[in-house]
Structures are given as structure tokens and as C-alpha cells.
Amino acid sequence: MSGKSVSSSLQRNASFAIACVLASLLGGCASVHNLPLNTPTSSPMPGFIRPAGAAEAIPARRISGDTVVGLAFSGGGTRAAAFAYGVLDRMAKYQIPREGPLLDHIGLVSGVSGGAIMAAYYGLKGPAALHDFRARYLTQDLMAQLDTSFSLGNIARAVGGGVNTDNKMRDWFNTNLFHGATFADLAGRRPVALINATDIYNRTPFLFSPQTFAAACSDFAQYPLAAAVAASAAVPGAFAPVVIEAYPDQCQTPLPGWVTAAAANPHASPLLQAYARGLTDIRSGRVKYVKLFDGGLIDNYGLSGITIIRAGQRTPYGPLSPEEAINMRRMMFLVVDAGQGPKGNWSSTLEGPAGRELVGAVVDVLVDANARTSYTAFEETMKAWRESIVKWRCGLKASEVAQLRGRSGPWNCRDLKFTIARVSFDQLGAERARVLNAVPTSFTLPADTIDTLTQAGGDALDANAAFQGFIRDM
């Protein structure tokens, strides 16, 4: 290593350190925060879930036929949104014999950060979202609405809480995509759209769901969809945390029994116990303001929320309806992963990482490790769910089966197959994956890059062996 390269590295690191020290001194004068948008209510959850004691944590959406598809869109800014869009666009070309378009069988879309933008818009508009998502979001310049300059003032604001409040991004989402839609506009729609953020105090996923808002005695129906997506994409430092205020004195709606049980059970899974304790802290008033950041911090795949929702069911089939569970023969769950591989060249030099590269490397380690853990937990959840549905189905009387199926005739209670597959860059070959991994995590990308990512999403779906096996099996 030359003396010149060492000197240059030291100068860069020294400049970064000096800027951070100065920013720390100024941070107390540069406080940035968001105001909570949620409102109190004495009767949370009407129209979204059944009264206390009911099983479903989210509203049941009926899917006709015997095929159910679930999708989870990873974080990764517009890179992730474009890749997810490409998967959906290619999926639109597939038909199920005698049952119609495959898109009509999507029961759930879960999203994190950039993936949450696609998930929320698809949840709101269904297949019609594919007609204008590219024009309304993918090729637009969201970054132009935000303060992204690297300056001492912005470093100070980042240290003080965040450079940007959420209002500019929220307003932009409303103007271009959601037009003032709230979660009331998602009620009764299929697929269910699950938006995930990170509760940084409890270090758990924050689910934009009726039961979460019920813990805060807050009106979930009127919460803006754009605000939830902004929370899911609120990168620490670039944004101040999105705030949800708790109103524990405003309602008497009891927490679901599984929440209080899991919070008190030392043998519950760590994820479920931490989430349940977070809800009890909100309801008790110990947590007055829930602070939310990018959902990718806790789970960049958006799978933990689904694991939690399934764990909270009191029936062997929830959140599916009994009619869906009795008729289902195949479920495919696709994890659409637009995460980046390792980056930077410091692994080939003696020094580094340092400065911003060090911060980025540490964050990448945490994000990737959490995502892998969530995937493993999700696999176990799906395995147990399939077994519980089979046990329930095989225990039904013939008359109950006929009533739920809406017809009689041959039926095999054990004929149920769950498939989980991950669709990612690395399934397209090393060179193509290298190009795609080089696309930055940004909210604005060139139109040709958008098209490259969209094409990659479709090609990765076609190349996925598990998905093609699922199609053949149908």
C-alpha cells in the first residue's frame, strides 16, 4: 500500500469525523420531528375485524378456486419497486386452467420500504395498478422533493432527528398515487395489503393493521395510506421518525387474548413476545409516542408481519376464511428480493471500512441478518400452518365439508401443498446480477434503469424453478 493512498484515506476519514463532531455540537439546535396524524377513537376496528374473541386479525377476503398466491416485496427504494412491478407484470400473463388469471388469486401482498409502495398501490387498485404505476411513480423524480444535499447543516439535522420530515414524501405520494386514500379504502378489498415499518423503541415490526391501532385506541380506518408508506420508507437520518400517538384512555376495547398471553409467556417466540409486549406497553400508556422508521431495519423481506398475524389466529386456518381453507389445494408464496449484495472495494485493501462505508457496512449486516432470520421463521410458520389446516380438514364431518365447499363429490383432505420461493437478482446469472446490484438504493432512477429492473423481475419469475413447478402442478 502506498503512502499516498494511506494519506488520502486518513484525510477522508478525518474530514468525515470532523463533520460528525461539528454536527453533534449543532445537533441540539437542529431538532426535526413529525407530528402524529392518527386520531383517537372509542371504538377501534369496526368494519375491519370481528368483535373481541374472533379469530381473524385482518378481514377475510374470499378467493374462489383452489389456488392462493402471496407476495412479499423487499425494501430497496425504487430499485425494489421496479423489480416487484416486473414480477407482477409478468405474472399477469399466467392463467390458471378453468379459474382465470393468476393475479385474481393473490390473497396477500406485504411490502417494506420501496416494496411497500408497490404493495400499497396494488392493494388499492388491484391489477389496474399495473397500467399506470410506471408513469405515476417509477419514472417520476421523488428525490427532487426531498433535501438530500450533503452539508454540515444536513448532518446537524440528521443528528438532531432527521433531515426531512415526512410531509413532503407523504404529499408527493398522495398527489401521484394515493389521492388521499386511507385504510378504509382497503377494507374488503383483495388482496390484503400489509405495510411494515420498524418500531425503534421496542425493536419490533410495526404492522399497519387494525389490532395495532386498536392497542393505541386509534382510528385505523382514517389513517392515510400515504403516511403508512412514508413510515415504511423513512430511512434513519434522511427522515425524522414517523410518530403514532397512543390514546389509552379513549377506549375499552380489550387486547386480543393471544397478545396478553404471549406478552406474559416466557416460552413464547422472541418475535411474538416482543411484539405483544410492545402492544401492551402502548395500551398501558408506558409508550405514549411510537417512533417508526424504515421497515427494512427489522425485516427487509416483510415476512415477520405475516408470521405475527398467523401466530395471533385462534383458528387453524386464519387469516383465511374456512371456505378458502377447505377449497385450497395449492398456496405459493413468493418473496421478491431486490436487496443488494456486498458492495465497496475495501475488502481488497488493508484499511477500511471507515466513515460512511463503515456505517453502511454495519447497517447492511444488520438488515441482511434480520431478513434471513425472518425468512427462516416464515418457513416454519408456513409448515405449521399447512399441518394445522390439514388436521382441521381431516377432522370435519362429510356434511360440514359439503357445506363449506358448496358442493359434494371427491375430495382429499390432505391434498394441500405450500410452496415458498425467493425471486432475486442472483437467479439471472452472475453478470446480470452484478449490473442489477450496482443500481443504487434511491427513490429516483433513470427510465432505462427502470426498464432494466422491470424486465429483470419478469425474467427472474420465469426462471424461478419453484414457480414454474407450481404452474405445472396446477
The per-residue pLDDT for range 183-241, each reduced to its tens digit, is 999 987 778 899 999 999 999 999 999 889 999 999 999 999 999 999 999 988 788 89
The number of CA neighbours under 13 Å toward the Cβ of 354 is 15
With a pLDDT cut of 90, the percent of the chain lying above it is: 57
Instruction: Give backbone dihedrals phi and psi of 40, rounded to 5 degrees, phi first.
Output: -75, 160
pLDDT given at position 339: 83
pLDDT surpassing 70 at residue 385: yes
Give the model confidence (pLDDT) of 242-301 as tens digits.
999 999 999 988 888 889 999 999 888 888 899 999 999 999 999 999 999 999 999 999
Per-residue model confidence (pLDDT) at position 472? 87
CA distance 316 to 391: 8
CB 134 within 8 A of CB 454: yes
CA-based nearest residue to 142, from 111, 110, 117, 179: 117
Residue 59 confidence (pLDDT): 43
Contact assessment for residue 367 and residue 297, using Cβ atoms and an 8 Å cutoff: yes
Mean pLDDT of 104-116: 94
Write the CA distances from 86 to 137, 390, 393, 423, integer angstroms.
14, 34, 36, 11
pLDDT of residue 372: 82
Does domain 66-197+223-234+295-343+353-473 fall under CATH 3.40.1090? My reply is: yes
* CA–CA–CA angle 52, 53, 55 (5° rounding): 115
Grid coordinates representing 378 are 416464515
Q: Cell for 259? A: 397478545
Q: Give one word for 90, left, alpha or beta, with left for phi > 0 and alpha for psi -120 to 50.
A: alpha
Would you say residue 7 has pLDDT above 60? no
The answer to whether 286 and 174 have CB atoms below 8 angstroms apart is no
Task: Based on the residue annotation, tell me whether 113 is a catalytic residue of this protein.
Answer: yes
Question: In sequence order, what E strands does 222-338 have?
Answer: 242-245, 289-294, 330-337
Please identify which of the residues 113, 209, 232, 304 carries the catalytic annotation. 113
pLDDT band for position 351 (cuts 50, 70, 90): confident
Does 383 score more than 90 pLDDT? yes
Whether 399 is catalytic: no
Which pLDDT score, from 0 to 100, does residue 43 have?
85
Query: Averaged over 90-112, what is the pLDDT?
Result: 91
Angle between helices 270-284 and 304-311 (to 10 degrees): 80
State which amino acid sits at residue 155. Answer: I
CA distances to 323, 389, 400, 413, 414 from 394, in Å: 14, 9, 11, 5, 7
pLDDT value of residue 431: 94
pLDDT at 4: 43
Cα separation, 411 vs 42, in Å, equals: 46
- Cα distance between residue 341 and residue 338, in whole Å: 9
pLDDT digits (tens, 9 = 90+) for 63-99: 667 899 999 999 999 999 999 999 999 999 998 888 8
Cβ atoms 33, 243 nearer than 8 A: yes
Among residues 166, 294, 337, 459, the one annotated as catalytic is 294
One-letter amino acid identity for 427?
Answer: Q
pTM of the model: 0.88
What is the average per-residue pLDDT within 334-340? 90
Please write the tens of the pLDDT for every residue from 359-378: 676 767 777 777 888 888 89
Name residues whose C-beta falls within 8 Å of residue 324's C-beta, 6 or more positions apart in sequence: 60, 62, 63, 68, 107, 317
